[in-house]
Structure 1
Amino acid sequence: MKKLTITLWAFAAMFTAKAQNPAPARPQTRPIALTGATIHVGNGQVVQNGVLVFDKGVITAVGGPGTETNGAEVISLNGKHVYPGLISPASTVGLQEVAAVRSTLDYSETGYINPNIRALIAYNTDSEVIPTIRNNGVLLTQAMPMGGVVSGSSSVMQTDGWNWEDAVLKKDDGIWLTWPGYFTRDFNMDDFTASLKRNEKRQEALNPLRATFADAKAYAALPSPETKNLKFEAMRGLFDGSKNLYIRADYGKDIIEAVQFAKEMGIRKPVIVGGEGADRVVEFLKEANVPVILNTPHRLPNREDEAVDLPYRLPSILAKGGVTVAISYAEEWWRTRNLPFLAGTAAGFGLTDREEALKLITSNTAKILGIDGQVGTLERGKHATLFVSRGDALDMRTNVVEMAFIQGRNVNLDDKHKRLYKIYKGKYEGERPLAEKK
């Protein structure tokens, strides 16, 4: 009886949670023109008092006050700002819900080399986290797998849809590799201190890794193999340039070695993810033409001799060094809603042009993920994936998202945070201050 009660409770909780999220938006049915706003194109350009027109989910015109609206439904946005949908790379949003509840974690698979694993089919569109990030302008996310040495394939997802088939923008955009570095971090639970120690299992991990990539390269050279190998089929795109190889590496020496490994194996598009020590190898990254997806700058320095503000300045150091750089919340999925404020921090620490900082979460990210032909900037022919903010989207004091469109669909901006705010505001709104009660 107890087991039955627990089962029924679990089902009730599941359906209750699902009912709380707003339904996905319906397709656009008529042309819409946004007028009078400051349009931040995402490529460094700004259009004052601009006009943006979109129809059937595609932008048809972007320009100044005289731009023709061609009978579209006009929405006046005087004094407000229009931005391209922000893109969160290297994320587990939609793949995990509550860290302490194992049944809600679906971002890794058993084993060490799993290139055939697809994060795509694990993406949960009913996640309560997704609406909270959408509410700050994050309209696209890259669902990345984790675990092992070769974790699997990521996919670029929209933050609105009935299921993963509806939400996907780009399937299997790249394979994820955790580079076996020279050092590992050791955390002492007794005194809560972290320290570096030599990675004793490094060579043990490198040997099968090299063998796997060498075999995959040979397999990719076969025009039509008689027997399909699922792991090697998943890696085929690495060698023809249709997929990225995302390499998790932080320290300078590891970054150099990982990129050299990728080039040696004939992989055309390596991307460094994490890159906390990338400031030491800027010239190398520029010459190798390797982009970097940085982990959150809102962290402490890794070394005692590093400047306390180095993580804040790192995006600027790389960008000024000629490296294409993006920002992510790589493992802190629930904080992804703060993505625009990471770019705001970069704007305050070196990237003085706020439009350049905006690129870190729009056009640069789109370019790295290979979706810049569809999203990342507000240009004619691209998807109408954009949002309207009351003020500067990179400033948490003024980022108030009032409208959001994903492929022209007007997305509902309700979320759990707003619902809780309304509930407790109603509870305490009519109560007298404590001092008066006494």
Structure 2
Amino acid sequence: MKHLKLSIFLLASLSGFAQNPAPAGPQVRAIALTGATIHVGNGQVITNGVILFDKGIITAVGDGNTPTNGAEVISVAGKHVYPGLISPAATVGLQEFASVRATLDYQETGALNPNVRALIAYNTDSEVIPTIRNNGLLMTQAVPDGGVIAGSSSVMHTDGWNWEDAVLKADDGLWLNWPGYFARSFDFDTFAVSLKKNEQQQDGINALTATFSDARAYADLKNPAPKNLKLEAMKGLFDGSKCLYIRASYGKDIIEAIKFARQMGVRKPVIVGAEDAGRVVDFLKENNVPVILGAMHRLPTLQDEDVYLPYKLPGLLQKAGVLVSLSYDGEWWRTRNLPFQAGTAAGFSGIDKEEALKMITSNTARIMGIDNVVGTLEKGKHATLVVSKGDLLDMRTNVIEHAFIQGRHLNLDDKHKRLYHMYREKYGQPDLGK
């Protein structure tokens, strides 16, 4: 009887907690969004536009004269339609509370873990995921971290019952933390960052050289027996089916990392972080290496640099012909602010907002190899898109009113909204969301 009373008490307690909304069901009939300004994602803008999609696929995009063919018409006059935004280099879904170790699932023990797959740890029940899609982020790259070779990332939707439902592209690339020339340390007493020479750098590079040499030789074998799971996971680097994402910040490290990748026969290296990329623009361009920049809303790396350099860097690289994407590089709690980084880039880089939009849509899709299905709003691609009340890149007008992933109409409830309404009612405040 005592156990029964305890069970009833626990159930009653749990029922008081709000849950994430259920994932959306499949699209059941054609939908036409009419009257909006459509931002295609490739620089093109269509005013008073129409976008039609059925069975999760875009069937037409055009001006107000585009026929709707008996579809369910949703008037979004005066609103803005954008491709679903893509967050690269993220640990959203892999961690929930930084201070609770049991909720952290983005890192394995050991230094060389190419066989680790981040997608199987992606938690679709995370309370963080609904909050980022409410700013337009409908896809995220679940990325492992830790060690030297951290494992493989995958591109995930921000809606789904489980990771099998949510995955868009499995094992898109391998993540390498380059052993840099400098070792950075942080003093918690003075909050100062100091640099010193990394005495173990050459040992790290030697270990990587041996590992990549073995992996390349293994990739040449037709039927290896027995199979080596670590080397199997690296095979895609040499045939171009996987990217090699290399975290490197300083100019010297960026150059050395790219040269290493080329010498090892890696087909698609990508530099991540790249705080010092402005110093090696020509080298990046000559080698046709894309860049995923880390957090822009920060101070410059060096004391004598332009204080606005982090804001200007995306435009500087894009104008030079380097393929640029924006990220928060693992800072999962800030990922929801990614569109505002693009807005900052437009404000300080001398590029227009459609060019900045590419850095969180089509450019990112090209880097990940998913541009055939997402990244722009074009016929034949997935109907993964958002409708915003205003400019998506401005936090004052980024108000998502509709979101669709592969045509599935999402429930946009989240923990932030529930808390807002709860405390608004408690203190009798007006509803600012209207």
Q: TM-score, normalised by structure 1?
A: 0.94
Residue aligning to 2:142 = 143
CA distance in 2, matches of 1:310, 1:203: 31
AA aligned opposite 2:329:
A
CA distance in 1, matches of 2:13, 2:147: 30
Q: Give secondary structure in 1 for the equivalent of 2:349.
A: coil
Report the AA paired with residue 390 of structure 2. Answer: G
Unaligned runs of 5+ in 2: none
Deviations 1:171-204 (A, max 9, x none): 0000000000000111112222111111122122
Counterparts of 1:382 and 1:228, CA distance in 2: 37
| SS across alignment from 2:139 | strand
Which residue does the alignment assign to 1:183? 182
Partner of 2:72: 73
| 1:426/1:405 CA distance change after superposition, 3 Å | same
Q: How does 1:402-417 map to 2 (within 5 A)?
A: 402-417=401-416
* Preserved CA contact (<8 Å) 2:315 2:351: no
Q: Give the secondary-structure state (helix, strand or coil) at the position aligned to 1:22.
A: coil
Q: What is residue 435 of structure 1 aligned with on the other side?
A: none
Partner residue, 1:399: 398
Question: Counterparts of 2:160 and 2:364 in 1: how far apart (Å)?
Answer: 22
State the shift of 1:371 in Å: 0.3
Separation of aligned partners in 1, 2:326 and 2:148: 23
Corresponding residue number in structure 1 for 2:282: 283
Note closer, same or farther for the CA distance 1:13–1:393 as it changes in structure 2 (3 Å cut). farther
Q: Distance in 1 between matches of 2:424 and 2:164?
A: 38
**Aligned sequence identity (%):** 71
Structure-2 change in CA distance of 1:300 and 1:430 (3 Å):
closer
Letter in 1 for 2:141: Q
The residue aligned with 1:299 is: 298
Q: For residues 186-335 of structure 1, what are the structure 2 equivalents within 5 Å?
A: 186-335=185-334
**Residue type matched to 2:80 in 1?**
H
- Superposition deviation, residue 390 in structure 1: 0.4
Other-structure match for 1:340: 339
Aligned: 1:47 with 2:49:
no
- In the alignment, structure 1 segments of 5+ residues that lack a partner are 432-438
SS at match of 2:395: coil
- Post-superposition shift, 1:430? 6.8
Bigger shift: residues 269-278 or 185-194: 185-194
Q: Secondary structure at the match of 2:418?
A: helix
Instruction: Name the aligned partner's letter for residue 404 of structure 2.
Output: F
Instruction: Quote the residue 2:109 is aligned against.
Output: 110
Letter in 2 for 1:263: R
AA partner of residue 407 (structure 1): Q
Q: CA deviation at 1:225?
A: 1.0
Structure 1 counterpart of 2:115, which letter? Answer: N
Is the aligned partner of 1:421 residue 2:410? Answer: no
Displacement of 1:332: 1.2
- Structure 1 Cα separation of the partners of residues 273 and 259 of structure 2: 17
CA contact (8 A) 1:386 1:404 kept: yes
* Helix, strand or coil at the partner of 1:184: strand
| Alpha-carbon RMSD | 1.9
State the alpha-carbon separation in 2 of the partners of residues 161 and 430 from structure 1: 34
TM-score, normalising length: structure 2? 0.95
1:381 equivalent in structure 2: 380
Partners of 1:29 and 1:138 lie apart in 2 by: 23
Contact 1:351 1:357 in 2 (8 A): no
Distance 1:420 1:76 in 2: 29
